[in-house]
Structures are given as structure tokens and as C-alpha cells.
Amino acid sequence: MNTTIFDFIGDHAGEWKVTSMIALKGEPIEPVSHIKKISSSLVPSNKGIWTLKGIVSNLRYTEKEDKDNLVAIQEDLGRSEATLAAFIPIRKSEAWWNLAQDERRKIMENKSQHTQTGMKYLPAIARKLFHSRDIGEPFDFLTWFEYAPADAAAFEELLEALRKTEEWSYVDREIDIRLVRI
């Protein structure tokens, strides 16, 4: 079974029930009541109401010290107490993609402190990043987070902090989907 390519299927049934779905920037996507995530392949699939495909890829910007810290504290998805999730597909602008790698890293890490801010919310928030840009998908990234109800307020605080950063000024499409495990 493939463990790097996943389909996120929006449908009428699935293991996660949608509690809210907001298009924060750019075109909305069709409302669905449930989402399921399945191991998949690059073969185009037309399942459910919509399917978004993402790949687990290598790190682009994280240096060794941060990587070691992340590996030491982060939790895996699927913890039984983490009954809430957020699925946030994101696209960044052409201006972002026209920057060089070192300029993008500077904006993410030096100016926006993405990892430093995020790290404060570990291990409570479990996270997974999927890349979609290079496979012709409508979003560049699919982000998935799982947390316990007791950490819901902290998750909102984290999002609020990240969305104020210079990095986010390059986000031109963002759909915020919240879920509860059923």
C-alpha cells in the first residue's frame, strides 16, 4: 500500500464529520458533510463530491536543529483523545513561487517565525503537511491537524498568529475546514 500519496475525499460519509467550512481567501470549494483520507496513487480519481490529492514529501526549509526538535516533540496523527481536526488546503501566489529558495526561507522562518511559533503548540497539536503543487492540483499544500477539545483554543491562537505573518500575505487561497471524528 502506498504511504506517501493520499486522497482527501469530501463526501456524504466518512470518518470525519465537517463542523464548519469557510473560504478565507479565494474560490470556495463545494460544501461536503464528511471527509475521509485514504492511501492512494497518482492516478486521477473521481471519488466523492471532490478529491484533493497530496504527497508526503521532504522538508524544504527546516534546518537540522529545528528538525531534531520537531522529531523529538511532535506527536503522530490518530491519538484517541484528538477527536478534533482541521483540514486547511492552501495555495500561495505566483509572487511567492517566483522567489528563490533562500528568500522564501527568510520570509517563513526569519520574518514570520513559522516553526518557532508552531513549536510552542507541540505536542498538543499533531500536524501533517502534504504537497500538491507539483502534481497539478488546485492547492499547493494540504495541511491536516488533530487535537483534543481541551486544546481547541490554543489551536485558534496559533492560526491567528500565523495568519498575521508576512508569509501569509503570499497565501492567495485558503479553505478552513473543521472536523470531528465519528
Residue ranges in contact with ligand HEM by CB under 6 A: 59-62, 88, 90, 92, 114-115, 118-119, 121-122, 125, 127, 129, 141, 143, 158-159, 162
d(CA 120, CA 113): 11
When the beta carbons of 9 and 155 are compared against ligand HEM, the nearer one is 155
Return the residue nearest ligand HEM (CB atom). 118
For 133, residues 6+ apart whose C-beta sits below 8 A from its C-beta are 97, 139, 140, 141
When the beta carbons of 40 and 112 are compared against ligand HEM, the nearer one is 112
Angle in degrees, CA 120, 159, 115, rounded to 5: 40
When the beta carbons of 12 and 64 are compared against ligand HEM, the nearer one is 64
Give the shortest CB-96-to-ligand HEM separation in angstroms. Answer: 7
Give the shortest CB-94-to-ligand HEM separation in angstroms. Answer: 13
d(CA 147, CA 125): 5
**C-alpha dihedral sign at 153, 60, 139, 126:** negative
When the beta carbons of 13 and 22 are compared against ligand HEM, the nearer one is 22
